[in-house]
């Protein structure tokens, strides 16, 4: 059906290392050996975000090199350090790197759920106060396939009703604040399934928490679809963060758990 849509996620940004500035710090503190660890980590296709998190983990123990802490005689590479950080429940260091996503054609059902996550997240979503509805697109769960025609009737009835009332309430209004007040009032007749957009930033620690919670077999269909897409976009780019991921196919989507995540 033309006005039935499915959510789509795009990864549009991620924390990067400023190598020249980091080199300046390493030089200043006589720890230039860590630059070799960065090269090795990059050869292992680790992300800048993971390297940065490992840097902060190592900073805690003065273990960027063997020179700063007499308690240590060797240092772990970045990948091993990430695994050890996960196992030792020192996951707070994963709060240093964030990923930026934009999700299009997602419903208000999904956005109501996702914005409940307060820790390590940031959201910016389509404003129902400012943005008028020209076309009512609905995010439809395929479980409704046998009644798609009926759903389309409801959708098209709501779209027509909205346009009729919008025409009566907004035609000829030129004052911007008045348009906003009326647009905001009109959104109350729109359904939860209406497609809209949300920008979403999350740090790597919270990402592990949300992927587990939101790909679970008990989670709602749309949020599972979206977090499956997020995991697909991220898992090869962040091999350290996903090193302990376990995948189980439940109703055609992955349920992802992190074996060593304890918090
Ligand atoms: C299957 C499922 C069903 C749900 N059903 C409902 C429902 O019917 N009604 C409803 O209102 N909500 C519901 N929710 C939403 C749920 O209650 C949470 O608000 C949402 O999942 C956010 O998760 P979080 O608390 O882990 O928050 P996050 O912000 O992701 O927090 C991450 C972690 O930080 C810690 N934390 C965060 N804030 C605090 C705090 N203030 N104090 C102490 N520790 C904190 C907790 O350990 C938390 O797990 C449901 C969620 C799921 C997954």
pLDDT in tens, 100-150: 999 999 999 999 999 999 999 999 999 888 888 889 999 999 999 999 999
Exposed/middle/buried for 97, CB within 10 Å: 0-12, 13-18, 19+?
Answer: buried
Exposed/middle/buried for 130, CB within 10 Å: 0-12, 13-18, 19+?
Answer: exposed
Ligand 1 atom 27: residue of nearest CA: 117
Ligand 1 atom 18: residue of nearest CA: 116
Ligand 1 centroid to Cα of residue 116, in Å, is 7
For tokens 């943005």, name the residue.
Answer: 131
Is 155's C-beta closer than 6 angstroms to any atom of ligand 1?
no
Ligand 1 centroid to Cα of residue 114, in Å, is 10
Exposed/middle/buried for 135, CB within 10 Å: 0-12, 13-18, 19+?
Answer: exposed
Nearest atom within ligand 1 for CA of residue 117: 29
Map residue 262 onto helix, strand or coil: coil
pLDDT in tens, 193-248: 999 999 999 999 999 999 999 999 999 999 999 999 999 999 999 999 999 999 99
Map residue 147 onto helix, strand or coil: helix
């Amino acid at each position: 059906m033309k006005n039935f849509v499915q959510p789509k996620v795009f990864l549009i940004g991620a924390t990067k290392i400023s190598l020249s500035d980091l080199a300046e710090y390493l030089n200043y503190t006589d720890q230039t050996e860590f630059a070799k660890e960065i090269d090795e980590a990059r050869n292992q296709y680790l992300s800048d975000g993971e390297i940065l998190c490992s840097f902060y983990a190592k900073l805690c123990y003065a273990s960027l090199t063997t020179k700063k802490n007499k308690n240590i005689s060797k240092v772990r590479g970045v990948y091993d350090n990430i695994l050890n950080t996960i196992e030792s429940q020192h996951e707070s260091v994963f709060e240093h790197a964030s990923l930026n996503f934009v999700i299009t054609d997602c419903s208000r059902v999904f956005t109501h759920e996702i914005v409940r996550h307060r820790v390590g997240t940031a959201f910016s979503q389509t404003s129902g106060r400012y943005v008028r509805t020209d076309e009512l697109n609905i995010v439809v769960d395929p479980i409704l396939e046998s009644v798609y025609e009926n759903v389309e009737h409801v959708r098209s009835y709501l779209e027509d009703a909205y346009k009729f009332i919008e025409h009566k309430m907004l035609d000829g209004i030129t004052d911007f604040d008045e348009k906003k007040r009326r647009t905001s009032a009109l959104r109350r007749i729109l359904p939860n399934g209406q497609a809209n957009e949300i920008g979403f930033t999350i740090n790597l620690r919270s990402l592990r928490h949300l992927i587990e919670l939101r790909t679970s077999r008990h989670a709602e269909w749309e949020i599972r679809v979206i977090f499956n897409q997020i995991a697909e976009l991220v898992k090869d780019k962040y091999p350290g963060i996903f090193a302990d991921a376990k995948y189980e196919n439940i109703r055609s989507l992955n349920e992802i758990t992190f074996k060593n995540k304890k918090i």
